[in-house]
Structure 1
Amino acid sequence: MFWFQVERLLNYWPILLKGLGMTISLSLLSLLVGCVIGLLFGIIRAGRIRWLSALTGLYIDLFRGTPFLVQVFICFFILPTVGIELSAFSAGVIALSNLSACFIGEIIASGIKAVPKGQSEAALSSGLRYSQQLRLVILPQALRIVRPSLVGQFILLVKDSSVISAIGIMDLTRSGWMIVQNIPNGLLVFGVVGIGYFIICYPMIFVARRMERRQQTSIL
């Protein structure tokens, strides 16, 4: 019986591959947008303008502290009621990009604050403006410090993308739900789905571990 179900599952591999491709596309696009916005959030959060830093921190905490599924539903179901029509894919990208930007922003802000003050003071004494200090001195060091944390966040982003299946996007998780209607063996079907996510995430897990080891070695 088990091998018969495995054979049946092999007939659905085009659906699984399509879902895998959608998950990768959704994650990559959200990652690119999230990194750009997250970098901006991080700079503002660690910046010198206190009220703007506090306001950005409140925004970040709001989305970090509320369920992601609720955020997805707001983008897909609530925004159209105020005249903002979005496709399921667009709503998913916006929700996922916003959430990742909030986490990335906080990570980058912590990295900026971890850079010794002597670095910015030396840059200031060299005649560099604040924007030049950030671009040439502070950000390169901050990004080096938080690289493992950023890669960890990228992994979480891929896994969070499975929530988007709730609004009908044919990602890897949604593909699994469709297949399990015809093959009543949830452990088999979602075991394969889990392997698909593992294939996407493991290279990043490997990279994150190597980065952590290099940082520990450099500290020692």
Structure 2
Amino acid sequence: MTLFFEQLYGMAQYYPVVLKGIGVTLALSFIGIFAGTVLGFVLGVGRASPRKWLSFAIGAYTDLFRGTPVLVQVFVVFFVLPEAGIELDSFTAGVIALSNIAACFISEIVAAGIRAVPTGQLEAAASSGLSRFQQLRLVVMPQATRMIVPSLVGQYVLLVKDSSVVSAIGLLDLTRSGWVIVQSVPNGLLVFTAVGVGYFLICYPLLYLSRRLEKA
């Protein structure tokens, strides 16, 4: 028991590292959620487009990234792009990879929501003289958004958890802070249980929001 409290005290000495790790995780997640949502909506509209070539092209793109591990995508951005002359720091590489994978998943959610809007409403909007863009903005997207919000929030939770892969390229996020601490406090169970609790505390508000939205 004495050893346990000594290790707990040792962990407490690393609170600046943990706070920095939490800050990096929150920053990555927030930027990834924002950028991924904006790009995901754009891709989702194209994915649901009646133009089959556009829908196919976007579907092929999103399937490529949805079907490959996030860690591999982070490595490609961080290690391969510099070979093409595009130098990126680890934070920027993480943001690009996470935003892209979020956009790919969100685009499919958005496309499914758009397709779920009854065609009768589109026909009524068209007969009212609304242009295609006006139909999308005034009729389709308001209804689709209400249907897809719970799924979107669930995707945001997954993005927060996926952000842990950036520790593999040396970025001091919450997971990486655990690896730093465990070098001095050799109790992996204790350290990474604390890391897991940290991720849970970040994700729980989103999980709670998702459940509330599903019941609404």
TM-score by length of 1: 0.96
Describe how 1:51-66 pairs up with structure 2 within 5 A.
51-66=53-68
Aligned to 1:113: 115
Aligned to 2:213: 211
Describe how 1:25-36 pairs up with structure 2 within 5 A.
25-36=27-38
| Aligned equivalents of 2:203, 2:129: Cα separation in 1 | 44
**2:139 alignment partner, SS class:** helix
What letter corresponds to residue 72 of structure 1 in structure 2?
Answer: V
**2:88 alignment partner, SS class:** coil
| Aligned equivalents of 1:164, 1:135: Cα separation in 2 | 36
Q: 2:73 aligned to 71, 74, 77, which one?
A: 71
Cα offset for 1:135? Answer: 0.7
| Aligned equivalents of 1:129, 1:17: Cα separation in 2 | 51
Q: What percentage of aligned pairs have identical amino acids?
A: 60
What letter corresponds to residue 182 of structure 1 in structure 2?
Answer: S
What letter corresponds to residue 104 of structure 1 in structure 2?
Answer: I
Cα offset for 1:14? Answer: 1.1
Cα offset for 1:122? Answer: 1.1
1:139 aligns with 2:141: yes
Aligned to 2:106: 104
Report how many residues are paired: 214
**1:106 alignment partner, SS class:** helix
**2:115 alignment partner, SS class:** helix
**2:50 alignment partner, SS class:** coil
Aligned to 2:50: 48
What letter corresponds to residue 8 of structure 1 in structure 2?
Answer: G
Aligned to 2:169: 167
Aligned to 2:96: 94
| Aligned equivalents of 1:14, 1:188: Cα separation in 2 | 18
List alignment gaps of at least 5 residues for structure 2.
none
Cα offset for 1:186? Answer: 0.6
Cα offset for 1:175? Answer: 0.5
Q: 1:122 aligned to 117, 124, 140, which one?
A: 124
Aligned to 1:189: 191
Aligned to 2:151: 149
Cα offset for 1:138? Answer: 0.2
Cα offset for 1:159? Answer: 0.2
Give the superposed CA RMSD. Answer: 0.6
TM-score by length of 2: 0.98
103-112 or 7-16: which moved more?
Answer: 7-16
Cα offset for 1:170? Answer: 0.6
Cα offset for 1:13? Answer: 1.0
| Aligned equivalents of 2:125, 2:190: Cα separation in 1 | 58
| Aligned equivalents of 2:12, 2:76: Cα separation in 1 | 37
What letter corresponds to residue 128 of structure 1 in structure 2?
Answer: L
Cα offset for 1:49? Answer: 1.0
**1:127 alignment partner, SS class:** coil
Aligned to 1:11: 13
**2:185 alignment partner, SS class:** coil
| Aligned equivalents of 2:206, 2:33: Cα separation in 1 | 13
| Aligned equivalents of 2:202, 2:128: Cα separation in 1 | 45
**1:184 alignment partner, SS class:** coil
